[in-house]
């Protein structure tokens, strides 16, 4: 693997430079979508799109990284490593490949799971002209995540109340309720937004530009943070069964987890089955009438109950209170990045190898259709 992908202190700028260098070396068509805000180091931010395709290509593999910004370090690693494979394949002209690099560049740069508006993008892909989902259970917990609960005795009390809730119903059930998302409190956790985000509209524009007239496509959205350490889960996530799930079951067999989402649904995969607004469902809706399969790769890291919740909450409070420099800020960012992109070289190599296998199977199936 490229040495910079093993960097213990990766940055958005390093990821972008490595991706563009490899894409240019292998003659990609490149499109750049500039984000309106600056990054953590004052850098310009972009979602970059690299494409390998002949004119009139009808079959496509699409790969998205960085939906949850800090998880984009893994996604970028895999996209960059895979460029040499897809560039060689693209010469044959049978399948086009589009790599959507860091769809939430602000979150990647600032090492945050959310975007610039504290939006969890996997709660943002819904119709804002319709009544928004209600999460009554979240309302009972919101006071634990407000600015006033960030420090001192108030933080200790908040932690105690969280521990009590965990003992009462269990961490998995609690996180399923919490992770279902909410659309009232921009200062809270798992906020879905009041309108479509920049990343939402940009992803829709990219899909419309490159895949609008395709006949067949497989799309993979790359994530980390849920599941067993070093285990990349492959999931089909949707509100209901659709033909692409059966294609995925045929292609991947027992590797595939199917998660059907809904208000009362649960799953043991580590994600929330009760959530609405998933990227996956938006892509399925966009591709109606085509032979299409939307999949998620979710790579397990550390224990979410013991490590992940505290790392996310500490980061949430830092930004809520505006503490965006100094030793505490650096330590918090380092811990959050470690949770979502472990420095363990074996972890990185393992998840890359398994992700490459998933890419390879998708491309082989598209070639055979």
Task: Let me know if residue 14 belongs to a domain.
Answer: yes
Q: Are 19 and 80 in contact (CB under 8 A)?
A: yes
Identify the three-state secondary structure at position 243.
helix
Q: Are 322 and 308 in contact (CB under 8 A)?
A: no
pLDDT tens for the chain, residues 1 to 369 = 565 466 768 999 999 999 999 999 999 999 999 999 999 999 999 999 999 998 889 999 999 999 999 999 999 999 999 998 887 776 677 899 999 999 999 999 999 999 999 999 999 999 999 999 999 999 999 999 999 999 999 999 999 999 999 999 998 889 888 999 999 999 999 999 999 999 999 999 999 999 999 999 999 999 999 999 999 999 999 999 999 999 999 999 999 999 999 888 888 888 888 899 999 999 999 999 999 999 999 999 999 887 888 999 999 999 999 999 999 999 999 999 999 999 999 999 999 999 999 999 999 999 998
Q: Are 91 and 27 in contact (CB under 8 A)?
A: no
Query: Which tokens hold the place of 126?
Result: 């819904």
Whole-number Å distance between alpha carbons of 368 and 360 = 12
Tokens 């994530």 -> residue: 223
Task: Let me know if residue 316 belongs to a domain.
Answer: no
Task: Let me know if residue 22 belongs to a domain.
Answer: yes
pLDDT confidence of residue 305: 81
Report how many domains make up the chain.
1
Q: Residue 19: give the domain boundaries.
A: 3-127+190-301+341-368
How many CB atoms lie under 10 A from the CB of residue 262? 13
How many CB atoms lie under 10 A from the CB of residue 131? 8
Task: Let me know if residue 144 belongs to a domain.
Answer: no
> What residue ranges in the chain does DSSP mark as E strands?
29-38, 44-52, 59-64, 96-101, 216-224, 232-238, 256-260, 291-299
Task: Let me know if residue 69 belongs to a domain.
Answer: yes
Q: What is the DSSP letter of 182?
A: B
Closest alpha carbon to 104 in 50, 47, 48, 40:
47
For the domain that residue 196 is a member of, what is the CATH number? 3.40.630.10
Task: Let me know if residue 150 belongs to a domain.
Answer: no
Task: Let me know if residue 268 belongs to a domain.
Answer: yes
Query: Which tokens hold the place of 19?
Result: 């991706």
pLDDT confidence of residue 148: 95
pLDDT confidence of residue 55: 87
DSSP codes, 263-304: TT---SSSS-TT----HHHHHHHHTTTSEEEEEEEEE--S-I
């Amino acid at each position: 693997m490229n040495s910079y992908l093993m960097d213990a202190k990766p940055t958005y700028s390093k990821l972008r430079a490595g991706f563009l260098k490899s894409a240019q070396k292998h003659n990609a068509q490149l499109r750049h979508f500039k984000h309106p805000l600056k990054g953590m180091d004052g850098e310009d931010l972009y979602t970059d799109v690299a494409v390998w395709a002949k004119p009139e290509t009808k079959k496509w593999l699409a790969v998205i990284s960085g939906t949850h910004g800090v998880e984009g370090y893994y996604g970028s690693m895999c996209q960059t490593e895979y460029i040499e494979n897809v560039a060689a394949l693209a010469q044959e002209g049978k399948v086009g490949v589009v790599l959507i690099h860091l769809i939430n560049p602000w979150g990647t740069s600032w090492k945050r799971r959310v975007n610039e508006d504290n939006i969890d993008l996997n709660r943002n892909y819904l119709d804002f002209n319709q009544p928004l989902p209600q999460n009554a259970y979240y309302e009972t917990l919101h006071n634990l995540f407000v600015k006033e609960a960030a420090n001192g005795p108030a933080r200790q009390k908040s932690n105690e109340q969280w521990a009590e809730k965990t003992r009462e119903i269990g961490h998995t059930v609690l996180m399923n309720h919490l992770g279902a998302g909410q659309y009232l409190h921009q200062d809270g956790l798992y906020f879905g937004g009041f309108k479509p985000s920049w990343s939402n509209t940009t992803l829709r524009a990219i899909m419309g530009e490159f895949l609008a007239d395709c006949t067949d496509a497989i799309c993979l959205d790359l994530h980390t943070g849920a599941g067993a350490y070093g285990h990349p889960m492959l999931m089909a996530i949707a509100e209901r069964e659709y033909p692409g799930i059966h294609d995925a079951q045929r292609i991947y067999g027992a590797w595939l987890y199917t998660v059907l989402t809904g208000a009362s649904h649960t799953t043991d995969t580590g994600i929330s089955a009760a959530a609405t607004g998933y990227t996956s469902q938006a892509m399925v809706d966009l591709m109606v009438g085509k032979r299409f399969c939307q999949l998620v790769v979710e790579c397990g890291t550390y224990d979410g109950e013991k490590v992940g919740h505290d790392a996310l909450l500490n980061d949430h409070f830092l930004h809520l209170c505006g503490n965006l420099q100094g030793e505490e800020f650096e330590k918090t960012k380092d811990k959050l990045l470690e949770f979502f992109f472990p420095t363990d070289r074996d972890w990185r190599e393992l998840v890359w190898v398994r992700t490459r296998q998933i890419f390879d199977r998708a491309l082989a199936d598209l070639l055979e259709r």
